[in-house]
Amino acid sequence: MSENLGYGLLVICDSRANFQDLPDGAPGAGKGRSFISSVDATVINVQHGSEGDVTARLWTAQEDWGRYGACELGVTSISLPSGVVVIGDVLQERVMRVALEPGTYRLQICADEPVNAATIDLVLVA
């Protein structure tokens, strides 16, 4: 997907995510963290919409681990009990939905830049 993410935040979540366990405050370069995570959602700081579109790519094979992006922003896990991962803007107006096997996945977050990334590679591995 390639979209203008007006708030500079990319959300990866289960289609039925409740976002209740997310830490307070949005991620950001000045806050020392490029993403925040909960059980069923991750929010990544990316390039603001005023600077251009953000491209998000999803990879789902073990052999994809570590193969994409110029830098790794981090690794977390995400629970997808519905079997549908949603990737999009914070308001969920521009989204991509992908069906996967329900379960918990390791999520590797890679980017073209460590701050204000315009390209994000997401690797989900069961």
Q: What is the 3-state secondary structure (H, E, C) of 14-65?
A: ECCCCCCCCCCCCCEHHHCECEEECCCEEEEECCCHHHCCEEEEEECCHHHC
Rg (CA), the chain: 13
Q: pLDDT value at position 79?
A: 96
The pLDDT assigned to 9 comes to: 95
Average model confidence (pLDDT) across the chain? 93
pLDDT in tens, 27-39: 875 667 899 999 9
Q: Which pTM value belongs to this model?
A: 0.93
Query: Would you place residue 100 in the very low, low, confident or very high pLDDT band (cuts 50, 70, 90)?
Result: very high
Residue-wise pLDDT tens digits, 82-94: 999 999 998 889 9
User: Confidence band (pLDDT; 50, 70, 90) for 19?
Assistant: confident
The candidate with the shortest Cα–Cα distance to 77, out of 37, 47, 121, 122, is: 37
Total residues belonging to the chain: 126
How far apart CA 107 and CA 74 sit, in angstroms, is 8
Please give the pLDDT value at position 29. 55
